[in-house]
Amino acid sequence: MKQESRWFKQVKLKVTSVFRKKPKDDGVAGNAPFIEPAGDYGKAEDLANVWSLDKSDSNVSDDASKRWPRLVLAGSIFVVIMLFVFLVLPRVLPGFFKNTDIALFIEKAPILIYDDSYRVVKVSASSVMSKPDISSSRITQLLMNEPVHFLGDGYENGYVLIRTMDNIVGYVKESDLNADMSSCEPELHRYKLVVADISKRVMSHASNGTLICEVTMDTVLFADVKRDEVYQVQLPNGQNGWISSSGVVELAIDENPEEVGVRYFVSSALTMVNSTYLDGGITKRGISMQGLVYVAAGVNGITIPRELKDQMSVGTMVTLEYDAVTEDLLIESIQPGDLVFLSDPYRPGSKDAYELALCTDTGVLLMRATTGTSIKLCKFDAHSDLVKRIIVVRRLFS
């Protein structure tokens, strides 16, 4: 039924459209013929004449010959910008913001001191031998994190030839050295630490850690992290460790220990009393008098040579005083902190330095014991045999 009703509606619509009346002609232009306008109105325009478009302007893409100058100009501008950003700004900005808070945020590239011709000591102490043989004489020792010039390898018994930073040439075990110098590059770190105690432990953690190594007096380490009473230091064996702040002197990375009074120098030396004597040694595990004076002076801001023969020229020479009547030595003329150079007891009258003693108090010398096995305090007076062995006395502190 629905389909039939729809069909009837369509038929009705068609019939109605046939008999619909046409609208009357009311004379309006809609039924009137079109009138041609006067002039050029309505004619198609020539775009080339109206808008002055030439061939090149009417194309979207430019000619390849005209594109290259634009690319060259753009590339030149890019190069100039890059040079300004990477060459000019890094040099100008630090000076412009110098002494301001913004300077803290401008990071400059670190200046490295050591190249491939250097090595760093990675053990607590390494012996420098006169020959590539453990049975040869020991010249001195090197402390952990101490840089040296590498002069060549290939020597027997695992030794290599090195020169210390104070120009001592000798042989050390190759296994005691590391080629990675980052642990002693000052500008790679934030703090410089000098061990002032006789020894310090480096631990794996800031608290409740295990022992990594032990460092001795005058060892220089660099730290990156500082917490309450501890520092995180980088070791030359590739590890990081923690060291307590007690008995450690904190310095700026380019700073050296400040020279202090004779009392501190003597106090540092006295920590080595009863230490085992070792020719050329500079640590508590084995030390010589010249090594003892070397590290005690270094940690207190005084730079002196390592070897006995060179130490005879440091400081100023002391003029010894004698009693006018008895001609005995006035022991008060040798003051605490003075270096006393002694001749060989079996070569009377010799002027060659055989050993060194340090005056720690009036009439008291710190020196090798008569047994030759340890460092001891020895009293002397005007009539002691030691007085006859004195060659020269040098004073480090005025």
* Residue 179 pLDDT level (bands cut at 50, 70, 90): very high
Check whether 29 has a pLDDT greater than 50. no
Q: Regarding predicted confidence, which is higher, 18 or 119? A: 119
CA distances (Å), 231 to each of 182, 216, 228, 248, in order?
17, 16, 8, 10
DSSP code, position 159: E
* Residue 28 pLDDT level (bands cut at 50, 70, 90): very low
The separation between the first and the last C-alpha atoms of the chain, rounded to the nearest angstrom, is 133
Q: Which CATH number fits domain 110-256: 2.30.330.10, 2.30.30.40, 3.40.50.450, 2.40.400.10?
A: 2.30.30.40
**Look-up: residue for tokens 């609208």?**
23
Check whether 328 has a pLDDT greater than 60. yes
- C-alpha 256/C-alpha 234 separation (Å) is 19
Nearest CA among 255, 145, 240 for reference residue 191: 255
354: its two tokens: 């055989």
Lowest-pLDDT range, 19-33, 83-97, 158-172, 314-328?
Answer: 19-33
For residue 62, what pLDDT is reported? Answer: 52
* Residue 240 pLDDT level (bands cut at 50, 70, 90): very high
Q: Cβ contacts of residue 255 below 8 Å, gap of 6+?
A: 192
CB 397 within 8 A of CB 261: yes
Q: What is the pLDDT averaged over residues 270-279?
A: 96
The answer to whether domain 257-398 has CATH 3.90.1720.10 is: yes
pLDDT, tens digit, for every residue of 360-372? 999 999 999 999 9
* Residue 107 pLDDT level (bands cut at 50, 70, 90): low
Check whether 19 has a pLDDT greater than 60. no
335: its two tokens: 């003051």
Lowest-pLDDT range, 37-41, 182-186, 230-234?
Answer: 37-41
Q: What is the pLDDT averaged over residues 331-355?
A: 93
Side by side, the strands of the sheet bearing 138-143 are 138-143, 125-129, 169-173, 159-164, 147-152, 118-121, 177-178
CB 236 within 8 A of CB 145: yes
* Residue 72 pLDDT level (bands cut at 50, 70, 90): confident
pTM of the model: 0.73
The per-residue pLDDT of the chain, averaged, comes to 85
For residue 81, what pLDDT is reported? Answer: 85
- C-alpha 181/C-alpha 222 separation (Å) is 12
Q: Regarding predicted confidence, which is higher, 84 or 216? A: 216
Report domain extents, the chain: 110-256, 257-398
Q: What is the pLDDT averaged over residues 295-310?
A: 95
Check whether 203 has a pLDDT greater than 60. yes
Q: Regarding predicted confidence, which is higher, 169 or 101? A: 169
- C-alpha 388/C-alpha 383 separation (Å) is 9
Q: Regarding predicted confidence, which is higher, 55 or 212? A: 212
